[in-house]
Amino acid sequence: MLKLGVMVSGRGSNLGAIMKNISEGKLDAIVEVVISNKRDAQALRRVEEWNARADDDKKIETFTVERSSFADKDSFEENIASIMEEKRVDLIVLAGYMSVLGSKFTARFGARIINIHPSLLPSFPGLHAQKQALTYGVKISGCTVHFVDETLDGGAIISQVAVPVLDGDTESVLSERILKEEHRLLPETIQKLATNQIRFG
Ligand code: GAR
């Protein structure tokens, strides 16, 4: 049973997919803690809704840790790292966490951090990956789960799914098509790590 620490910044639909797979018994993991770097992240409301329905032992603890509350990036990430260590998480999952982690943080957890990104990396790292794909004119995009290093959407690739880019696609239509695959790929990849079908690092 993998203990997950999930980091979010926004909507939290990938976090939702993880929680759903756990509740359906498809993922041998528990979400030990969710840390948001945005106070108003919808992901936090999603956890509140989950907690309102969950038995006491299934409730998920959340923390908001904002960069603006700290003098520098290192001390901000040190705070997140100490929560993850205190909760003894086995795996940190970046599920729409929209900030690049520094090398102190990534070195501390080694290959125990993964990220999901809405493109076939190494193409289109960074913000608005789906828009970048449309602008470039690629006919196939997709999503990637990868181990995390200190570079933007960088680190060894673990799993990918290809998604077609169709004539007339808008950013939101393509994003939705990719997101459906993200919601499958991320829990599936975590399950493979949980069951040693994929090795850490
Ligand atoms: C997802 O599409 C995820 O792949 C992307 O942000 C979205 C978060 O959605 N992440 C990145 O672009 C990381 N560089 P969610 O908050 O609904 O899971």
pLDDT score of 109: 96
**Residue 153 Cα, ligand 1 centroid: separation in angstroms?**
11
Q: What's the mean pLDDT in 193-199?
A: 95
Q: pLDDT per residue over 118-160, tens digit each?
A: 999 999 999 999 999 999 999 999 999 999 999 999 999 999 9
Please check whether residue 146 is in contact with residue 160, taking contact to mean a CB–CB distance below 8 angstroms. Answer: no
**Ligand 1 close to Cβ of residue 16 (< 6 A):** no
User: Which residue has its alpha carbon closest to ligand 1 atom 17?
Assistant: 13
Q: Does 185 have pLDDT greater than 90?
A: yes
Q: Does 193 have pLDDT greater than 80?
A: yes
Cis, bond preceding 164 (omega within 30 deg of 0): no
**Residue 119 Cα, ligand 1 centroid: separation in angstroms?**
10
Mutate to test the pocket of ligand 1, among 13, 34, 132 (most ligand atoms within 8 A of CB): 13
pLDDT score of 194: 96
Please check whether residue 179 is in contact with residue 161, taking contact to mean a CB–CB distance below 8 angstroms. Answer: no
Tokens representing residue 104 in the block: 């102190």
- Closest ligand 1 atom to 42 CA: 16
Q: Does 170 have pLDDT greater than 80?
A: yes
Q: Which are the catalytic amino acids?
A: 117
Q: Does 58 have pLDDT greater than 90?
A: no
**Residue 127 Cα, ligand 1 centroid: separation in angstroms?**
9
The values of phi and psi at residue 106, to 5°, are -65, -35
User: Which residue has its alpha carbon closest to ligand 1 atom 1?
Assistant: 96
pLDDT score of 4: 98
Q: pLDDT per residue over 9-50, tens digit each?
A: 999 999 999 999 999 999 999 999 999 999 999 999 999 999
pTM over the 0.85 mark: yes
pLDDT score of 101: 97
Task: List the beta bridge partners of residue 116.
Answer: 145
